[in-house]
Amino acid sequence: MKKICFATPCIILIILLLTSCDPLLGQRPNNYPNTVWVSQEPDMFFIVGEAHTIGRWGVPFAEIEYAQIVKNNEIIELLCGLGSGSAIHFYDPSGYDPETGMLLDGISTGDTLLFTGLCKFGKYKLVVTVDINRKGFLDDSITEIIFIREDISE
């Protein structure tokens, strides 16, 4: 009986500890301020700015400030955001108001969404498996995008 009384609180404590952990903590690109994440195919990159907060467990957090892709020899600016879990989203910035940080009236995220993917995060490498490719924005042959992290000072 004593073993059961001791084991029950230990099991509850372990469950609480495991459910409060974020397995991706410190692995997402926005946890690496002042970096640029570069892909060769397709030719694109995004920039993570300076850390503006220190999140849980002292991990820095920064916003993705700029993203672009070169498509048919044309530079196209993108909005890039990390979703919950392992999602990443790329949007057409034409429906975005930089002053408010919101989408313009009458425009939904579905209207401006270009493509999304599921990520495998690493300290120096981000692998995005393309999940949704709206309006054929990416070539159909692109099913995976590999980004390599570089410091901006490089």
pLDDT in tens, the chain (154 residues): 666 666 666 666 665 454 455 555 557 888 888 999 999 999 999 999 887 665 555 666 677 889 999 999 999 999 888 877 888 989 888 877 777 767 676 666 678 889 999 999 998 999 999 999 998 999 999 999 999 999 887 5
Residue 112 counted as domain residue: yes
Phi, psi of 24, deg, nearest 5: -100, 5
Residue 91 in contact with residue 81, Cβ under 8 Å? yes
Residue 80 in contact with residue 44, Cβ under 8 Å? no
Query: How many domains is the chain partitioned into structurally?
Result: 1
Residue 7 counted as domain residue: no
Residue 32 counted as domain residue: yes
Residue 17 counted as domain residue: no
pTM: 0.75
Residue 3 counted as domain residue: no
Residue 35 counted as domain residue: yes
* Structural domain boundaries enclosing 75: 23-151
